[in-house]
């Protein structure tokens, strides 16, 4: 394991944990390594990620709090704790209000997960987050997809099929892009297979 990979493990077992703890013991700013390592485990080992994030927050080094809250939300989603995930996303957004120079994707992730989970009691919150100001921040195809997919799913559930169709088509157009538009990073921000569930829900809306 190279020196810059010991805190970026995507798998986890007792030997990896032992090696990580040994390295962590020797470094000064432990918080950043705990946060980064947790971010690599949110999908594969969410319970481990949550434990590492608890340790991160206990250290009180708040530089990367917004991303830590997002990582915590993703780990909660992986174990089916949807409301805990929503609360973590809200914490990330609150942190960004306090420190706007350090931003995450929580402004899109929260409404998207609300729509995907069918959490109707939060639809108003989700639509409020998808403001013109939020739309102005969109950069990658993935961002455009999530923005419009979220609107399409919520509008469809509210029987607004005309507007839902418009946003569904915009989302699928973003999903169809095969080049980022950035010459040196052609694959950056493209819509990946992890959005397959949403894509399947959007296709029927295009003909609604």
pLDDT in tens, 31-51: 999 999 999 999 999 999 999
Burial class of 163 by CB neighbour count within 10 A (0 to 12, 13 to 18, 19+): middle
Tokens of 195: 């959005």
Task: Please report the beta strands in 82-200, taking only residues with DSSP state E, as ranges in sequence order.
Answer: none
Distance CA 8, CA 1 (A): 10
Tens digits of per-residue pLDDT, 155-197?
Answer: 999 999 999 999 999 999 999 999 999 999 999 999 999 999 9
Other beta carbons within 10 Å of 178: 9
* The model's pTM: 0.93
User: What are the domain boundaries of the chain?
Assistant: 1-100, 105-208
């Amino acid at each position: 394991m190279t020196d810059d990979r010991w805190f970026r493990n995507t798998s986890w077992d007792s030997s990896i944990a032992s090696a990580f703890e040994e390295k962590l013991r020797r470094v000064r700013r432990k918080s950043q390594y705990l946060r980064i390592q947790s971010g690599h485990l949110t999908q594969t080992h969410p319970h481990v990620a949550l434990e590492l994030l608890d340790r991160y927050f206990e250290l009180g080094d708040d530089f990367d709090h917004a991303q830590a809250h997002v990582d915590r939300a993703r780990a909660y989603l992986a174990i089916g704790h949807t409301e805990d995930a929503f609360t973590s996303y809200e914490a990330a957004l609150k942190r960004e209000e306090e420190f706007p120079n350090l931003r995450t994707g929580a402004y899109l992730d929260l409404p998207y997960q609300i729509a995907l989970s069918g959490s109707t009691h939060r639809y108003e919150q989700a639509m409020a987050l998808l403001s013109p100001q939020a739309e102005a921040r969109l950069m990658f195809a993935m961002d455009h997809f999530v923005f419009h997919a979220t609107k399409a799913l919520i509008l469809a559930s509210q029987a607004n099929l005309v507007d839902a169709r418009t946003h569904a088509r915009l989302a699928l157009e973003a999903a169809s892009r095969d080049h980022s538009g950035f010459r040196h990073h052609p694959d950056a921000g493209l819509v990946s297979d992890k959005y397959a569930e949403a894509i399947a829900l959007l296709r029927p809306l295009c003909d609604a």
